[in-house]
């Protein structure tokens, strides 16, 4: 379970290649590697720059072809999606509007559709709804390399890159749904999120600290975010320095139907404030029910969790 959480495994089978000397991930999508390179000619399968992986012609839905060099200087969304997937089609409708708003604001932004459709006919039908670029369906090798590069485990997934090709966020789907006016584009990650219907899916990605508050009190949610944020930033910075993903996500949860469902599912008391760490994959929870939540209490709770000093309760 520690390994599942460390590598954020959501589907099986999964095969991850590591550098045994440093412990760093070399490739998250090893199944595609051994399918695409059965002779091991590209071993040790380390990550390549986006610019190198995307190199080649890109298409518009009118048949026009552009070279990938046309992306230079732009933020890029790499959109993994398919027509057969209902959540993908729903996201595409929202994403079309977001794309239009960002372009109309004068910002340099392009999206590249990487299809997981099951036939070229289905790809063409789906791509006809999209105003952006796509990797040609016939270029299966390049589509596979992009899936490998970002360790795609499910669709829809929208990866947002800066103009240098570095990842800004892997949670483009959540950001698009939460920010329909695109005011926060290019969606740099926030250390602490306010739990919502659209980002609740992230609770399944690994252990999450969730501070439940009484949102009927004016400013309670914002005050809770400000309380947690320094601790979240410290943890994120510590693991970023090691080139690792933070072992916890941080949320503040107010009072709504979704939060009520989460409390019911995890069998949490109705108290507020209530400090918890929820680990859905391990079906475990850690609960601190105190009258007042202070930064020192949160930091001690997080440190004890990371040091494996807390005793889990079953979900």
> Greater confidence, 55 or 216?
55
CA 117 from centroid of its chain's CA atoms: 21
Task: Judge whether residue 218 has pLDDT over 70.
Answer: no
Tell whether 70 and 170 lie within a shared domain. Answer: yes
What pLDDT score does 216 carry? Answer: 65
Tell whether 174 and 54 lie within a shared domain. Answer: yes
DSSP string, the chain: -HHHHHTT--SSS---EE-TTT--EEES-HHHHHHH-TT-TTTT-----HHHHH-SEEE-TTS-EEEGGGGTTSEEEEEEE-TT-HHHHHHHHHHHHHHHHHHHTT--EEEEEEE--SSHHHHHHHHTT-SSEE--TT-HHHHHHHHHHHT--SSSEEEEE-TTS-EEES-HHHHHHH-TT-TTTT-PPPSSEE--TTTGGGGGGS-EEEEE--TTSTTHHHHHHHHHHHHHHHHHHHHHHTT---S-EEEEE-SSHHHHHHHHHHT--S-SSEEEEEETTTTEEEEE--S---HHHHHHHHHHHHTT-SPPEE-
Tell whether 173 and 64 lie within a shared domain. Answer: yes
Contact in structure between 125 and 117 (CB atoms under 8 Å): no
pLDDT band at 290 (very low <50, low <70, confident <90, very high): confident
Tell whether 115 and 231 lie within a shared domain. Answer: no
Tell whether 172 and 54 lie within a shared domain. Answer: yes
Q: Per residue in 25-70, pLDDT tens?
A: 888 889 989 988 999 998 888 889 999 999 999 999 999 999 999 9
42 in any annotated domain: no
Residue 76 CB partners (closer than 8 Å, separation 6+) = 50, 109, 110, 111, 112, 160, 161, 165
pTM, two decimal places: 0.83
What pLDDT score does 243 carry? Answer: 79
What pLDDT score does 286 carry? Answer: 97
Task: Judge whether residue 215 has pLDDT over 80.
Answer: no
CATH code of the domain in which 202 resides: 3.40.30.10
Tell whether 74 and 161 lie within a shared domain. Answer: yes
Report the pLDDT averaged over residues 158-185.
95
Instruction: Identify the domain boundary among 124, 153, 178.
Output: 178
266 in any annotated domain: yes
186 in any annotated domain: no
Among residues 58, 178, 187, 177, which one has the least CA distance to residue 110?
58
Task: Judge whether residue 5 has pLDDT over 80.
Answer: no
184 in any annotated domain: no
What pLDDT score does 131 carry? Answer: 98
What pLDDT score does 235 carry? Answer: 95
45 in any annotated domain: no
Q: Per residue in 293-307, pLDDT tens?
A: 999 999 999 999 999
**Structural domains of the chain, count:** 3
274 in any annotated domain: yes
Hey, what are 246's tokens? 């933070």
Tell whether 57 and 170 lie within a shared domain. Answer: yes
Instruction: Identify the domain boundary among 121, 145, 178.
Output: 178
User: First-to-last CA distance in the chain?
Assistant: 15
Tell whether 206 and 107 lie within a shared domain. Answer: no
209 in any annotated domain: yes
286 in any annotated domain: yes
What pLDDT score does 198 carry? Answer: 84
Instruction: Identify the domain boundary among 140, 155, 178.
Output: 178
Q: Per residue in 78-113, pLDDT tens?
A: 999 999 999 999 999 999 999 999 999 999 999 999
Alpha-carbon distance 267 to 204, whole Å?
17
What pLDDT score does 6 carry? Answer: 78
Segments forming the whole domain that contains residue 10: 1-36
Task: Judge whether residue 125 has pLDDT over 70.
Answer: yes
């Amino acid at each position: 379970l520690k390994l599942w959480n460390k590598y954020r495994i959501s589907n099986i089978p999964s095969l991850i290649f590591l550098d045994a000397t440093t412990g760093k991930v070399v490739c998250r999508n090893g199944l595609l590697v051994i399918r695409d390179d059965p002779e091991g000619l590209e071993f040790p399968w380390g990550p390549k720059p986006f610019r190198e992986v995307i190199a080649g012609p890109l298409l518009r839905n009118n048949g026009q072809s552009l070279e990938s060099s046309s992306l230079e200087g732009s933020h890029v969304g790499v959109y993994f999606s398919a027509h057969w997937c209902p959540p993908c089609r729903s996201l595409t409708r929202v994403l079309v509007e977001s794309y239009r708003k960002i372009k109309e604001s004068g910002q340099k932004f392009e999206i590249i559709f990487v299809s997981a459709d099951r036939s070229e006919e289905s790809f063409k039908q789906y791509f006809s709804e999209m105003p952006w670029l796509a990797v040609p369906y016939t270029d299966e090798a390049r589509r596979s390399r992009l899936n490998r590069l970002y360790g795609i485990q499910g669709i829809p997934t929208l990866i947002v890159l800066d103009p240098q090709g570095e990842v800004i966020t892997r949670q483009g789907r959540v950001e698009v749904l939460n920010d329909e006016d695109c005011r926060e584009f290019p969606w740099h990650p926030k250390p602490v999120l306010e739990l919502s219907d659209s980002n609740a899916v992230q609770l399944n990605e690994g252990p999450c600290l969730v501070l439940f508050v009484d949102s009927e009190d004016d400013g309670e949610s914002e005050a809770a975010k400000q309380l947690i944020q320094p601790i979240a930033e410290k943890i994120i910075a510590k693991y970023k320095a090691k080139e690792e993903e933070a072992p916890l996500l941080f949320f503040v949860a107010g009072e709504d139907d979704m939060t009520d469902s989460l409390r019911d599912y995890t069998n949490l008391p109705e108290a507020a404030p209530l400090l918890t760490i929820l680990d859905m994959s391990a079906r475990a929870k850690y609960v601190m029910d105190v009258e007042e939540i202070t930064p020192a209490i949160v930091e001690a709770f997080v440190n004890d969790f990371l040091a494996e000093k807390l005793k889990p309760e079953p979900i």
